[in-house]
Amino acid sequence: MTETLQHFIGGKYVAGESGRFGDVFNPSTGEVSGKLPYATTAEVDAAVRNSQAAAEEWGKTAVPKRSAVIFKMRELMVARREQLAEVLCKEHGKTKPDALGEIQRGIDVVEFAAGVPHLIKGEFNSNIGGGIDLYSIRESLGVVAGITPFNFPVMIPLWMGAMAIACGNAYLNKPSERDPSAPNMLAEMWKEAGLPDGVWNVIHGDKEAVDALLHHPDVPAVSFVGSTPVGEYIYQEGSRHNKRVQAFCGAKNHMVIMPDADMDQAVNALVGAGYGSAGERCMAISVAVPVGKETSERLIEKLAPAVEGLKIGAWDDPDADINALITRQAKERVEGLIQRGVDEGAKLLIDGRGATLQGYENGYYVGGTLFDQVTTEMEIYKTEIFGPVLSVMAPSTYEDAVRMINDHEYGNGVAIFTRDGDAARSFTDQVDVGMIGVNVPIPVPMAFHNFGGAKRSKFGDTQMHGPESIRFFTKMKTVSSRWPSGIKDGYQLAFPTND
């Protein structure tokens, strides 16, 4: 039976009023599992107004009390992660272990946010001159919005929202239309944890809802994760309406394999980073860069059979390596790009097209795909494929590898595998990429550090979670204070100094 989903506003579910709906699918089976309402501009405005009323009180709540609610949410997530993972998997398609890993990374940020009393402290200097004390304080912004992607429907809303509410804001989540049930479940759990109604609202929709948030005068900050074209639009449109905006976008992540690398370790890393979650990660490795012909031959000798042995499967198959893609359109796009690679002259070593699964014939599956002899002019190199497709490129020298990485328009993540400390140190200095792994294939920082890329992988000046998120979700006030005993008679026309 198809379920009609709802928005979550003011601590309760609210039916959509637009009359516009989109289908939600189970990617493993290709069946419609739900109908999702798409909000109008008026509905978004109503959600913002509800959040405004809640934000005013929440911002006045004592910081330790806010922290206690966040810690309670952490306990609920630990207790219910299996249930949350199942809800996530049915709409996303990812395997259960992958979903549990995503949820744990969300829990990590909730734990970090629970330490907000320390994180939100201002600064103080006593007697900077003439009996004047100088101090700064951080205050909440009000209602902040998070526009979150399909590929991490639990983790990314928490990366944004946990930090936003820790800083005293109300958080309005506009999740992906593809897998909305897990974000709704998060809102329910926050309510149970003791978060006041309206502090965490969820509004569903398409571009109309996004534009309503970008244009709304009472939403001062917007955080986004998604594709580069959409992220660039959100950054430009939000900035045009005088908002602070951070947009984390597309990627083409390289992994350099030096001749001295442990090849078994490198292959294991490539398989996990390239094909995990069917490649639907902005931090997925999609380009293997063995340095030199001999390194390339050794890599492919071990890599090809590993890729060929990957098993596709539904989300509840404990032996599945590669899950279904999110939509039929995504499957068709990935298969089209594979054909484009063949047409442009890349050597297709393993072809994942036409993958079928008994009992799940209508699921959106593409098997592990491996290309060799890829060049920088090919579309499969330039484009973020977002599927289980790995390209191998073999520059002659280390310098050529670094130049290739720096010439690419994206700069989200990169890795180098080597035993040479000098090569690793040189690499981290030279590449223009936001997150770098040394013998670590997916260098996503822990919650207490900052996440973010470079070049066209990120728009805006701030990073996600870590200390940067405190700066993004608060505004600073600086106070100069002097009491009557330090005040002398007479006025001064010169610019004030500490004299």
Task: Tell me which residues are annotated as active site.
Answer: 282
Number of other residues whose CB lies within 10 A of the CB of residue 476: 11
Residue 389 to residue 278: CA distance in whole angstroms: 8
Considering only CA atoms, which of 172, 228, 216 is closest in space to residue 58?
172
Give kind and range of the element (H or E) at residue 159. helix 155-166
Residue 338 to residue 344: CA distance in whole angstroms: 10
Which residue in the block uniquely carries the two structure tokens 């006041």? 196
In the 8-state DSSP scheme, what is residue 384? -
Give kind and range of the element (H or E) at residue 349. strand 347-350
Considering only CA atoms, which of 337, 326, 28, 304 is closest in space to residue 149?
326
Considering only CA atoms, which of 241, 188, 214, 244 is closest in space to residue 73?
188
Give the 3-state secondary structure of residue 495: coil
Give the 3-state secondary structure of residue 115: coil
Residue 214 to residue 208: CA distance in whole angstroms: 10
β-sheet bridge partners, residue 173: 146, 202
Residue 171 to residue 73: CA distance in whole angstroms: 15
In the 8-state DSSP scheme, what is residue 456? T
List for the chain the helix, strand, coil content (%; round to 5): 40, 20, 35
β-sheet bridge partners, residue 289: 256
Strands lying side by side in the sheet with 132-140: 123-129, 132-140, 474-481
Computed from CA positions of residues 345, 350, 352, 355, in that sequence, does the dihedral angle turn out positive or negative? Answer: positive
Residue 328 to residue 321: CA distance in whole angstroms: 19
Distances, alpha carbon 158 to alpha carbons 48, 123, 142, 147, 173, in Å: 19, 28, 18, 12, 10
Considering only CA atoms, which of 103, 166, 469, 93 is closest in space to residue 313?
93
β-sheet bridge partners, residue 370: 350, 390
Distances, alpha carbon 286 to alpha carbons 274, 295, 429, 466, in Å: 6, 18, 22, 27
